[in-house]
Amino acid sequence: MTENVKLLINGEFTESSASQWQEVRNPATQEVLARVPMCGSDEVAQAVAAAKAAFPAWRATPIAERARVFLRLQALIREHMDTLAATLTREQGKTLADAKGDVFRGLEVVEHACSVGSLQMGEFAENVAGGVDTYAIRQPLGVCAGITPFNFPAMIPLWMFPMACVTGNTFVLKPSEQDPMTPMLLAQLAQQAGLPKGVLNVVHGGVDAVNALCDHPDIKAISFVGSVGVGTHVYRRGSEHGKRVQAMLGAKNHAVFLPDANKEQTLNALVGAAFGAAGQRCMAISVAVLVGKARDWIPEIVARAQTLKVSAGHEAGADLGPLINRQALARVEKLIGQGVEEGAKLELDGRNPAVVGYPDGNFVGPTIFSGVKAGMQVYEQEIFGPVLCIVEVDTLDEAIAFVNANPYGNGTALFTQSGAAARRFQHDIDVGQVGINVPIPVPVPFFSFTGSRGSKLGDLGPYGKEVIRFYTQTKTVTARWFDDEATAGPVNTTISLR
């Protein structure tokens, strides 16, 4: 019988009473792996109530004790790395190597959470007035929630609940309904690591569950990663209900290539960043901006892309697996057709690849367009598939202006051997994350993942120093004490500016 994906409420893995369920399918074979419930407001309310009840005791738990839970969790994740990666590949489609990378990048955030003792420190100023001290402390908010996408079912949940919980909050996670099995394995490991009942809760579903999280009065903050449409809805609806909201949205990441770049390393980096994970990364390079004589590299880019193997993610040697579902496949194929109609040159057509042994998979091979212009749908849309658009310009200044004119500002990169060009690029570019000879500049966890313009709503990022500020509130205390022999008099807290 097909497995039913369970809920985690108050430390118990329970069957949902939802009236609607959705199938979880292996995107390489269409095999039904499980059924996931479409929870409504009642089950969301149960999860929130459990988190609210657990909050006072968890908040009072010493910082070091909270951190030790996540020390145990990181050890368990390492121990179960192969199981997590295999499950991720079955339900999401990415290659096993990529799946392990997905888990590992989340693991790095868990490790970072273990340093909460230094991250959550406040500030102190002595004698701001006569006998008066002022200090600020960081305290947890209460119940927080996370809504995560299908493309990183391990990494992004691990961005969220470890940092929220280690700072003293309790959490309700709603993972993507398209690949919920990996997040549930992580929830099991969190319980095994010693996370008390109710500190982490997991519900499933679609729009009804999302709206219930946005509306619930006991949820203080929501972290979201996903599409522009859903993220904008979550940001607006959550904010209207008085919550802090951070929303990491869509992207159209450009990499700029100067002709002085190390060509061999540069082209290998481009092909990996454009087509890895079948392009289903918010940090994928989907636009290559070739400056000057770098436009001569197009045949070599195509040749390298043609060597990539398309197959099921668990197959040896696979470089990219299937898209997540039939809808994604149809959308990517439609956009490729529109690119041809709009006059872009289709240098490499990845539609309908012959994948031996997997006739029913949602496969698109590496696809490359040259001659792409602003205004074409293949340029304007976030394709979220293995499609690379090539744009040609004459100067670095033109390239910077072109990137900055795009509505998204998630990530970008410059490939060059010129330090002066790199410095100008990183200074003038209006994008949140910049790589210099690094194709996917996702920062390590002690820096903040960020974005600008249409790629981010909210002013704090989902990990790094910024996320500590997101999951805590600052309380400022001004205090004066008297010894027994002191004569109590009026307190002058006015600080002289002289």
Contacts of 257 (CB under 8 A, 6+ apart): 266, 270, 288, 289, 290, 291, 294, 297, 415
Per residue in 441-462, pLDDT tens?
Answer: 888 888 888 888 989 999 888 8
Which of 18, 5, 24, 47 has the alpha carbon at shortest distance from 208? 18
Q: What is the pLDDT of residue 7?
A: 98
Contacts of 492 (CB under 8 A, 6+ apart): 129, 130
Q: CA 226 to CA 382: how far, in whole Å? A: 12
Per residue in 332-358, pLDDT tens?
Answer: 999 999 999 999 999 999 999 999 999
Amino acid at 361: G
Q: What is the pLDDT of residue 498?
A: 40
* Mean pLDDT, the chain, whole residue set: 95
Q: CA 133 to CA 124: how far, in whole Å? A: 8
**Is residue 11 within 8 Å of residue 340, measured between CB atoms?**
no
- Please work out, in degrees rounded to the nearest 5, the angle formed at the alpha carbon of residue 239 by the alpha carbons of 236 and 243: 145
Q: Determine the straight-line distance between the first and last CA of the chain, rounded to whole angstroms.
A: 78
This prediction has a pTM of 0.94
Q: Is the pLDDT of residue 33 over 90?
A: yes
Q: What is the pLDDT of residue 197?
A: 98
Listing DSSP states for 144-168 in one string gives EEEE--SS-TTHHHHHHHHHHHHTT
Which of 92, 12, 22, 39 has the alpha carbon at shortest distance from 321? 92
| Element spanning 333, H or E | helix 326-341
Q: CA 200 to CA 10: how far, in whole Å? A: 8
Q: CA 17 to CA 46: how far, in whole Å? A: 12
**Is residue 8 within 8 Å of residue 48, measured between CB atoms?**
no
Per residue in 255-302, pLDDT tens?
Answer: 999 999 999 999 999 999 999 999 999 999 999 999 999 999 999 999
Averaged pLDDT, 42-55: 98
Q: Which residue(s) pair with 392 in the sheet? A: 290
Which residues are catalytic, by number?
Answer: 282
Q: Chain centroid to CA 160: how far?
A: 9
**Rg for the chain (alpha carbons), in Å?**
25
Please give the backbone phi and psi of residue 205, each rounded to the nearest 5 degrees, phi first: 140, -170
Angstrom CA distances, 92 to 181, 204, 306, 312, stand at: 10, 16, 23, 10
Q: What is the pLDDT of residue 467?
A: 92
Per residue in 130-171, pLDDT tens?
Answer: 999 999 999 999 999 999 999 999 999 999 999 999 999 999
Per residue in 322-332, pLDDT tens?
Answer: 999 999 999 99
Per residue in 188-241, pLDDT tens?
Answer: 999 999 999 999 999 999 999 999 999 999 999 999 999 999 999 999 999 999
Q: What is the pLDDT of residue 493?
A: 54
Long-range contacts formed by 114-119: CB under 8 A, 24+ apart:
114/67, 114/70, 114/71, 114/74, 114/166, 115/67, 116/63, 116/66, 116/67, 116/166, 116/167, 116/468, 117/63, 117/64, 117/67, 119/167, 119/465, 119/468
The β-bridge relationship of strands 7-9 and 12-14 is: antiparallel
